[in-house]
Amino acid sequence: MLPYGPVFAIAVAMGFAATLLVRGVARRAGVVDRPDGFRKTQKDAIPLLGGIGVFVAFCGSLGVSCLVTGAPELAACFQSSDTWFLLGGATLVLLLGFVDDVWGLRARWKSLGMLLVSLAMYGGGYRIGAISNPFGKDLGLGWLALPLTAFWFMGCMNAINLIDGLDGLAAGVTVFAAGTVLMVGMMFGNTGASLLAAALAGATLGFLLLNFHPASIYLGDCGSLLLGFLLACIGMKGAQKSQMVVALMIPVIALGLPIMDTSLAILRRWLKLVPFTVSDRQHIHHKLLEMGLSHRTTVLVMYGGCLILAVLALLMTGTHSWRAAAVLLAVGLLTFISIRTLGRNEYRLFRKRVADYLTEREHRVRSRSAGYVASGSMRNAQSVEDIWRTFVRAAEKMELDRVDLALSGLPGNNVGTSRYFRWQNGLNGRQQDDVTWTAVFPLRANGTHLGRLRVQKVTNGQPLSAEIPETLQLLSKAVAMNVERLGTYGAPTVRPRHTARP
């Protein structure tokens, strides 16, 4: 009989005992998480470093189970270089998170450390080299295997790290995901992955007994990153013998909740034009709390979602392609409903970003087109007034707010005469305190200074598209060349005139 039960039971006991010990040490050392009234809503300072207890239980349960049961499967697990490479990578991730918990790390350095560990795991044989295809041979990834593997590791670690916002949430999600990989490994005879999944599920459950609301210890970054890393490794090993549409879809579906939460967080921060490392209170669990659910109820609802996804992932194993496709369709429908329900804010931000992009693109195209059309039309101008009217039509399409054109006399021809034109757009509702972009373009042709063109546009702090100054540069050159071509300004000085309300 395979020793999954003993490994799990020993891991639970060791996880609880090791977490108790770590909790006391962390409290005495002052490594605690203090409330801030924003994201950290606990009343008192809570000890961190719970990940150390999970790590000790994970490794210790395998060793103790091997000594107690003498199972050859456990001996083979310890003799495998893959296992030792996994433990080495887990140690590095634990140390990275420990440094962040105790002393603090900049987000860039923590991300770099996670990336280096991911690349090391790729070098050690943990890689996504191909994707299974139910209609033919597996699809080899070639050079894409490296970035996809790194993305898998980074994604899993960040997913668990980001969802670790409520007591017992990240640990509970990990128990469900590891349990799913355990069941899949047992179904396909993947003993090594199943033993590791049993150890992870048990160690995390032992920690969860002290982490469920009200928690007396937190995972810390050392714990959340460790759980994400171990899930990435075990999920990859568990998919090696699975015959399904896409081998990694089972662990992906099992981790569907944190993956969706992470994806929404990345999308939300990108749409808001803020760094991805900025914290907020817009995660799925925060939105459930805002709906009026209690802390425990919110966590239990999240557990229910994990359970549903775990069942769907198990339904994909050993099924025909059409059944797997049906499960994927159900997952897609469930994801769509969840995003529409819990991701309304991101959906509105996305629609606004798309609408702003389309409006800006239309304005850029219209501005550039107006500039080229106007510069071409000025070649047929018979007077300065014709040039000015052509320029005003372009200014209206470019949504400028004010234009002043001042011309001085040509040497040897009406010396001393000058012309002055002004146009102001009264349709934009410009106010005195509006933030305005102003530019002055000198008018020169064949080495002769002809005057200047002054342009203003209300921006109110919004970025100005590059098409505006580029098009105005083109138009100012066209005005100068055609004014020089005419060689005279005809009528005497004209006082400022307005074609719209000043």
pLDDT higher than 80, residue 358: no
CA distance 149 to 324: 24
Peptide bond into 214 cis (omega under 30): yes
Indicate the SS3 state at residue 457: strand
Most confident of 201-210, 337-346, 443-452: 201-210
The string of DSSP codes covering 82-145 is HHHHHHHHHHHHHHHHHHHHHT---HHHHHHHHHHHHHHHHHTT----EE--TTSS-EE-GGGH
For the chain, first and last CA: distance in Å? 90
How sure is the predictor about 272, in pLDDT bands with cuts at 50, 70 and 90?
Answer: low
**Residue 138, Ramachandran bin (φ over 0: left; ψ between -120 and 50: alpha; else beta):** beta
CA neighbours within 13 Å on the CB side: how many for 384? 22
User: Both tokens of residue 355?
Assistant: 């609408």
Mean pLDDT across the chain: 80
Give the model's pLDDT for residue 240: 59
Q: Residue 82: phi, psi to the nearest 5?
A: -60, -40
pLDDT higher than 70, residue 224: yes
CA distance 323 to 411: 86
Give the model's pLDDT for residue 409: 61
Tell me, rounded to whole angstroms, the distance of Cα 302 from its chain centroid: 21
Give the model's pLDDT for residue 488: 53
pLDDT higher than 50, residue 497: no
User: Both tokens of residue 138?
Assistant: 């597996």
Least confident of 118-132, 259-273, 357-371, 488-502: 488-502
Give the model's pLDDT for residue 298: 84
How sure is the predictor about 415, in pLDDT bands with cuts at 50, 70 and 90?
Answer: very low
How sure is the predictor about 460, in pLDDT bands with cuts at 50, 70 and 90?
Answer: confident
CA neighbours within 13 Å on the CB side: how many for 487? 2
pLDDT higher than 50, residue 411: no
What domains sit in the chain, N to C, each tagged with a CATH number? 4-244 (no CATH), 354-486 (3.30.450.40)
Length of the chain measured in residues: 502
CA distance 97 to 93: 6
Q: Are 142 and 254 in contact, with CB atoms under 8 Å apart?
A: no
Name the residue among 300, 284, 286, 293 with its Cα closest to residue 335: 284
Give the model's pLDDT for residue 246: 46
Q: Are 475 and 374 in contact, with CB atoms under 8 Å apart?
A: yes
Tell me the pLDDT tens digit for each residue of 47-62: 999 999 999 999 999 9
Tell me the pLDDT tens digit for each residue of 394-406: 999 888 989 999 9
Q: 35 or 42: which carries more pLDDT confidence? A: 35
Share of the chain above pLDDT 70, in %: 77
CA distance 89 to 178: 18
User: Both tokens of residue 472?
Assistant: 């105005």
Most confident of 118-127, 132-141, 253-262, 300-309: 118-127
Question: What pTM, to 2 d.p., does this model score?
Answer: 0.70
Give the model's pLDDT for residue 175: 94
Give the model's pLDDT for residue 430: 52
Tell me the pLDDT tens digit for each residue of 66-88: 888 878 888 888 788 888 999 99
Give the model's pLDDT for residue 346: 63
Q: 363 or 334: which carries more pLDDT confidence? A: 363
Give the model's pLDDT for residue 315: 74
User: What is the pLDDT averaged over residues 224-247?
Assistant: 74
Least confident of 42-51, 118-127, 335-344, 464-473: 335-344
pLDDT higher than 60, residue 428: no
Give the model's pLDDT for residue 455: 93
